[in-house]
């Protein structure tokens, strides 16, 4: 049985809740590394919502 993946989000001005690789929700494919406790910065002068990219759990089946 698979457990549900919990989406972790943070937006400009908030404290970063977790260290890791984050993807901008308004610009898929744009990534940044933030550390727990960092203040999430604006991007190009605008507020941005970021989603933490989940780390592989080891349960994923390899491609190929």
> Rounded distance, CA 62 to CA 45, Å?
39
Report how far residue 5's alpha carbon sits from residue 52's, in angstroms, rounded to the nearest whole number: 11
Are 49 and 11 a contacting pair, CB within 8 Å?
yes
User: What is the per-residue pLDDT across 1-59, written as a single tens digit (0 to 9) for each?
Assistant: 555 667 999 999 999 999 999 999 999 999 999 999 999 999 999 999 999 999 876 66
pLDDT number for residue 6: 79
User: pTM for this one?
Assistant: 0.77
pLDDT at 62: 57
Q: Is the pLDDT of residue 63 over 70?
A: no
What integer pLDDT is reported at residue 58 of this predicted model? 64
Q: And the tokens for 64?
A: 């190929």
DSSP β-ladder status, 20-24 and 49-52: antiparallel
Distance CA 20, CA 53 (A): 7
Task: Output the pLDDT for position 64.
Answer: 56
């Amino acid at each position: 049985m698979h457990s549900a993946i919990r989406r972790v989000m943070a937006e400009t001005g908030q404290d970063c809740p977790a260290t890791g690789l984050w993807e901008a929700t308004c610009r898929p494919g744009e990534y940044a590394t933030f550390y727990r406790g960092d203040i999430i910065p604006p991007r190009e002068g605008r507020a941005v919502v970021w989603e933490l990219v989940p780390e592989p759990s080891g349960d994923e089946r390899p491609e190929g």
